Amino acid sequence: MGALEVNGKEFKLSLPAEDIQQIVDDMAVRMNADLAGHNPLFVAVLNGAFMFAGDLMKRMKIDCEISFVKMASYEGTSSSGDVKTLLGLDVDVEDRLVVILEDIIDSGLTLEALVNELSKLKPKELKVAVLLLKPDAYSNAVEIDYVGKEVSNEFLIGYGLDYNGRGRNLEDIYILTNEEIPITEF
């Protein structure tokens, strides 16, 4: 039940939409309390974080702003290790409380690259919020302030997460089953 085929690979349901919404709810409650009066600037990392950022922003009841950067390191189902900044920031970060919004942290290379770039722009404080964290893969010193949920070191799609561009639109999160789907020739 709940199986899905994307680009010839099989995925099964891992985190239903209701659970994701509860995770985002809980994070928003914490942020509304912690960040009130600081006018935080949320910086969401495209493409993957667009749904998380959208749902989170709808729940922010404090004075805040959001902007976007675009970074990419993944090819297929693993990190290429080479992080590219594809679209830079268009707002002034100096003296702002900046909260990076990421969909998922794996090796942490994407986060590290972004933290390095943003730090040069002299924010007052830099915080990190992530929907999903793979603690077994993460090997980085950057502290993560808000973690929605820790997940195993496996490949996920849905709710913004993609496999070669596919699956971002799914409202649930699915996990790769490692069962190759036989190619049927007609």
Question: Which parts of this chain interact with ligand IMP (CB under 6 A)?
Answer: 45, 48, 73-74, 79, 102-111, 155-157, 161-162
Q: Is 106 one of the catalytic residues?
A: yes
Which of Mg ion, ligand IMP, none is residue 108 near (CB under 5 to 8 Å by kind)?
ligand IMP
CA 47 from chain center: how many Å?
A: 9
Which of Mg ion, ligand IMP, none is residue 155 near (CB under 5 to 8 Å by kind)?
ligand IMP
Q: Which of 106, 136, 145, 172 is catalytic?
A: 106
Which of ligand IMP, Mg ion, none is residue 146 near (CB under 5 to 8 Å by kind)?
none
Between 102 and 123, whose beta carbon lies closer to ligand IMP?
102
Element housing 84 (H / E) = strand 78-87
Which residues does 39 contact at the CB level (< 8 Å), separation at least 6?
A: 63, 64, 65, 96, 97
Element housing 116 (H / E) = helix 109-119
**Interatomic CA distance for residues 58 and 97, integer angstroms:** 19
Footprint of Mg ion on 9-68 (CB under 5 A): 45, 48
**Interatomic CA distance for residues 147 and 104, integer angstroms:** 9
- Residues designated catalytic: 106
Question: Which stretches of the chain bind Mg ion, using CB under 5 A?
Answer: 45, 48, 103
